[in-house]
Structure 1
Amino acid sequence: MHARFDIAIIGGGAAGVLAALQLLRQARAPLRIGLFEPAPRLAEGVAYATPRAEHLLNVATGRMSALPDQPDDFLDWRCAQADHVQAARTALKQSYAPRRDYAAYLRDRLAQASQHSQASLEVLPWRIQALARQTSGWTLTAAGDSAWAPRVVLATGNAPRPLPAHGAAELPSPLRVDAWDYPGVAAIAPDAQVCIVGTGLSMVDALLTLAATGHRGRIHLLSRHALLPLPHTPSRAVDEDFPVPTLHALGVRERLRLLRQGVRNAATRGLPWQATMERLRPHGQALWRSLPASEQRRFLRHAMRHWDIHRHRIAPAVHAVLQDLREADRLQLHRARLESVGTADTDRRVRLFARRSDGGRLQLEVDRLVNATGLELRVQAMHNPLLGQLLRDGQALPGAHGLGLATDAEGRLLDAGGRAQQDLRSIGSLRIGEAWESIAVPELRVQAQALARDWTSANG
């Protein structure tokens, strides 16, 4: 088969669906769009594939519209659902929806746009393995199939990070569970002793599922920094007095110093520290780009994890579950680096060794080991055949500090010579090295809107 499209989108998770949605909405002439996604349902990348009701969005309903020009669109969609027709709109706006509902919302909006667009959308269940430049476009190759398009969007999404320990790959799968293997986590026995490696948002997912399924066993949490996610506040206040422009001329240390002072100043006015972070939220990309490469490296080495727990906060109700588990003495937090894992008790348990932050050695034996180490952001460690081929062929470069792919500010991929390719663009987490803030929906929807505007305009 050799399908032909005007625009091909590789990846049908949230980023790819948002790109398709905007192309459909903005098209003013016939346009054939091909969306390539092997998963059975669209919009279900790593984050939104969860079937679990306890896995909530980390942003309130009122801020999660897929459409930048219709900020209440997700709220409108939720209000129209049978479960919420009697709900107070204000309360629903401030609530945190299950992530599975957001995937359903994106699919609904995509279907509606398809019905009313001058463009046409075809979804193909292909896993694209290679992308080759031709004279006037690109050939996309999957197993036994190929397609052609003059313009291509890379929206390959997030890649889970493997366990960073000797012996992890050889550990039998019943003993080792990925946090994003949602049925696997739910199947952990109620009395099992569990060690979760990683203490970020993936860990929270695993804890929520264990709590929801009646787990009673001891849970060990292990990470290098042993920092746990922090909550949003119900008010979502913003510290409008914080001097964001001042940050641009400062290095990482000076920025952190000014942030701490800003938090103290906000507290004197009755504002929580979250209000200062809310003030920074729209400026994340500009703040990252204003740092010299050496200061970006300093941030990645010394400040990133502290930044993450303050920036990527969780719903108050989710944080309450975490606090309840801690107060019940169900959790034991270890600040250590995992070094090796193996089997014990005739292969029925996991034995792990880690190095504590004080240099001491930690040994644990548990029934299940859960990998919650989060996203793999280094493109050359993703083991993605398509991305690897683009790098080898000189059609792409690793992004700054090896994060994602190198792009210009509009998401155009840079080739081996550093030239921006007008007909090959990226959306989402592959742009993290250039933009830093490039994973959450507020950034994805703006990227999708800009891409569609450029490619559906008369000069696109």
Structure 2
Amino acid sequence: MTVSDQTQACDIAIIGGGAAGVLTAIGVLRGASGALRLAIVEPQLPLGRGVAYATRHPEHLLNVPAGKMSGFPDRPDDFLDYLVAQDAFPGVERDALAQAFVPRRHYAAYLRQRLQEAVEASPAQLDVRAARVVSLEKQADGIVLQLDSGQPLLAASVALCTGNALRPLPARGAGAVPPGKRIEAWDFDAVQDIAATADVAIVGSGLSMADSVVSLTATGHRGQVHVLSRHALLPLPHAKGPAADYDPEPLLAMNLRQRVRALRRHAAEAAPRGIPWQNVMERIRPLGQALWQSLSFDDQRRFLRHVVRYWDVHRHRIAAPVHAQLTELRRQGRLHLHRGRLETAIAEGACVHLGALDPGRQPFQIDAHCVINATGVEMRAQAMRNPLLQQMLGSGAARPGPHGIGIDSAADGCLLDADGIAEPRVQVVGSLRIGRLWESLAVPELRGQAQQAARSLLGVVA
């Protein structure tokens, strides 16, 4: 792979070099039958990290066992094979490693190695451009990408793999809180640099919050930690036990209320048999996208309004050791959970004052030395603060997905413009498809979409 600032044209361009972009590139390289030109445009190198796997800290674990993290549908043990070949965990048997929640930093290295192997075995050429795409224009002879370097790149086909965007801190005055006192949860090094005695407020109680707490614990943090969220629900752990054996297919014909009742019934029936509720949820995992798409538009809106946070904590679970750390900190009286809606953030002297409203709309205040924004992934296309997406939406080259979530795409991943017309030269991969598919963030979805996108991109070039 070469980092290039000379390439002016290519056959296929991939916008984004995180997991989705790298998996798509590997699919193109493996499927190429001739000397085509492939470019990955990514401002933050090295490749393969994105937001999910950018951390270098060993306390940040994958939320899925290693044996289920292969990047390729046709090679289900590939990530496990990589860990064994690298001797990443000496003395750990392969079967035990398959069940382990390993540090996330291994996954970025895995993606880069598989990409390098694909480059070496492919007749195609890969150029990596350390730049940001700021606009996309459809022309008769291809797709013109304008880079922030000022240089245009002409591609016959394009994969849009821009990855996740962080929600801004939802408080008046947040922009005036200085950087040292306002920290993004995805800035892992900044979280680790927080003083050991500082009292910390974390806004959001999901997976990013868990990352922040384990980072603080790893550095010997001794101050108080206050977690503020609207529902005050912490992530739940994975569990071992027998697999659930009920038939999930009837759920597809039910409305939202019926589905919730049915899942509760299945969990209650499973418990006396020693089957944990987590395994009841695992039973519907392959149907995630079908369950979303079979809901009526109104039921989807009800889900987003009333159910989504409960779904998140049951569906997106964390490793048991991470959950144990959170539980122990609460037992010690060092981790405090507050239910409320953040309203204001004001820096004053050494403190940050967070003003919030409780469920009864009564005001209360949390005082801390710094605040961590752990509000998670921004799903609304108009709020993503991505110049490329803003340009595409403004020009009509794209439209928001259902409910304003993500970017709209057809069933085969083709970009849909403002009039709903598919553009087969542009494939959408990953989190941008969440409004249409809902389940579009995790590796099982990414690897399937990347494989489909690679075939489509190669078909356009052919």
Q: Shorter-chain TM-score: what band?
A: over 0.9
Query: Does 2:276 match 1:272?
Result: yes
SS of 1:404's partner is coil
Distance in 2 (CA, whole Å) between partners of 1:252 and 1:144 is 49
Distance in 1 (CA, whole Å) between partners of 2:41 and 2:383 is 23
Contact 1:13 1:42 survives alignment (8 Å): yes
1:457 Cα deviation after fit: 4.7
1:30 Cα deviation after fit: 2.4
**Aligned partner of 2:235 among 216, 229, 234:** 229
Contact 1:2 1:146 survives alignment (8 Å): no
Taking the TM superposition and a 5 Å limit, the aligned residue runs for 1:2-81 are 3-81=8-86
1:28 Cα deviation after fit: 2.2
Distance in 2 (CA, whole Å) between partners of 1:167 and 1:177 is 14
SS of 2:146's partner is strand
Contact 1:49 1:100 survives alignment (8 Å): yes
**Aligned partner of 1:293 among 291, 297, 322:** 297
Distance in 1 (CA, whole Å) between partners of 2:151 and 2:211 is 37
Distance in 2 (CA, whole Å) between partners of 1:259 and 1:405 is 30
2:290 maps to amino acid: A
User: Who is 2:174 aligned against?
Assistant: 168
Structure 1 length as normaliser, TM-score? 0.97
2:208 maps to amino acid: S
User: Unpaired runs of 5+ in structure 1?
Assistant: none
User: Who is 2:94 aligned against?
Assistant: 89
Change (3 A) 1:458 1:396: closer
Query: Does 2:120 match 1:118?
Result: no
Distance in 2 (CA, whole Å) between partners of 1:102 and 1:123 is 20
User: Who is 2:201 aligned against?
Assistant: 195
**Aligned partner of 1:260 among 249, 259, 264:** 264
1:330 maps to amino acid: R
Taking the TM superposition and a 5 Å limit, the aligned residue runs for 1:24-423 are 24-142=29-147, 143-235=149-241, 237-241=242-246, 243-344=247-348, 347-423=349-425
User: Who is 2:3 aligned against?
Assistant: none
Distance in 2 (CA, whole Å) between partners of 1:172 and 1:316 is 35
1:122 Cα deviation after fit: 0.9
1:86 Cα deviation after fit: 3.2
SS of 1:301's partner is helix
1:85 Cα deviation after fit: 4.3
Contact 1:19 1:449 survives alignment (8 Å): yes
Distance in 2 (CA, whole Å) between partners of 1:85 and 1:261 is 43
1:451 Cα deviation after fit: 1.4
Distance in 2 (CA, whole Å) between partners of 1:316 and 1:114 is 38
Distance in 2 (CA, whole Å) between partners of 1:188 and 1:229 is 23
1:32 Cα deviation after fit: 1.2
1:45 maps to amino acid: G
The 10-residue stretch of structure 1 (60-69 or 268-277) with the greater mean CA deviation from structure 2? 268-277
Distance in 1 (CA, whole Å) between partners of 2:239 and 2:86 is 26
1:352 Cα deviation after fit: 1.2
Distance in 2 (CA, whole Å) between partners of 1:457 and 1:13 is 23
Contact 1:2 1:145 survives alignment (8 Å): no
Cα deviation 1:261-281 (Å, max 9, x = unaligned): 011111132200011101000
Cα deviation 1:163-200 (Å, max 9, x = unaligned): 00000011111111111111111011111111100000
Cα RMSD after superposing both structures: 1.3
Distance in 2 (CA, whole Å) between partners of 1:231 and 1:9 is 35
Distance in 2 (CA, whole Å) between partners of 1:48 and 1:293 is 33
Distance in 1 (CA, whole Å) between partners of 2:372 and 2:276 is 33
Contact 2:157 2:461 survives alignment (8 Å): no
1:458 Cα deviation after fit: 8.7
User: Who is 2:434 aligned against?
Assistant: 432
Cα deviation 1:178-236 (Å, max 9, x = unaligned): 1111111101111111110000000000000000000011111100000000011134x
Contact 1:398 1:404 survives alignment (8 Å): yes
Cα deviation 1:359-410 (Å, max 9, x = unaligned): 2211121101111000101010011110011111111000000000011112
1:302 Cα deviation after fit: 0.3
Distance in 2 (CA, whole Å) between partners of 1:33 and 1:352 is 48
User: Unpaired runs of 5+ in structure 2?
Assistant: 1-5
1:67 maps to amino acid: F
Cα deviation 1:299-339 (Å, max 9, x = unaligned): 00000000000000001111111111111111111000000
1:358 Cα deviation after fit: 2.2
Distance in 2 (CA, whole Å) between partners of 1:439 and 1:40 is 21
Distance in 2 (CA, whole Å) between partners of 1:32 and 1:2 is 9
1:83 Cα deviation after fit: 3.5
The 10-residue stretch of structure 1 (76-85 or 217-226) with the greater mean CA deviation from structure 2? 76-85
